[in-house]
Amino acid sequence: LVLALSLSPQQAQEGVAELKEVLAKGKKLEATIDKQKRKRSLDMNSYAWVLCQKLAEVIGSTKELVYQGFIKDVGQFEIVPIRDDAVERWIRNWNAKGLGWHSEIMSDSKLEGYKNVISYYGSSVYSVSEMSVLLNEIVGECLNLGIDTMSPKELKSLEESWGGKS
């Protein structure tokens, strides 16, 4: 049997001193061993991508298309009237910002010579609440398809550590 501990130097010194004291008094020791849990160093955005990959494998798609679908379903966006002669450049430049950044023509604008363009933001710029909506939608779809996800407690911990805007 091998027991491995990960302690800071101060914790180790204090622990050794306490063990010596207990053993010197002839007292019995008791230890609790629990199953090892996989360490996670993910943030909410990274975890969204992990789940998009799992979904893609189950439904026979790509993680990019799955992610873009969620962005279009529940993501943050702006609707902007763009001059007809500038629409193509606007869309090309917006889409070049990243995979979640998607822009497309919605309709003719009330303004003559303009189109209404819907432009979705990538999740890397989402606030905590915006990212929570997106991640909850992805988690819900995973659960519907029988894909394991983090527990609600782990998800809450991710949310609390999210570095986005409030």
Q: What is the structure's pLDDT at 3?
A: 55
Q: How far is CA 105 from its chain centroid?
A: 28
- In the three-class reduction of DSSP (H, G, I as helix; E, B as strand; rest coil), residue 9 is classed as helix
The residue behind tokens 């501990």 is 5
Q: pLDDT tens-digit profile of 81-113?
A: 999 999 999 999 999 999 999 999 999 999 999
Number of Cβ atoms within 10 Å of the Cβ of 66: 23
Q: pLDDT tens-digit profile of 14-73?
A: 777 887 887 888 888 776 665 444 443 468 889 999 999 999 999 999 999 999 999 999
Q: Is 102 exposed, middle or buried (0-12, 13-18, 19+ CB in 10 A)?
A: buried
DSSP H or E stretch at residue 106: strand 102-108
Nearest to 96 by CA among 114, 79, 119, 73: 119
Q: Where are the domains of the chain?
A: 44-161
Summarize the chain as % helix, strand, coil (round to 5). 50, 15, 35
The residue behind tokens 């010194």 is 13
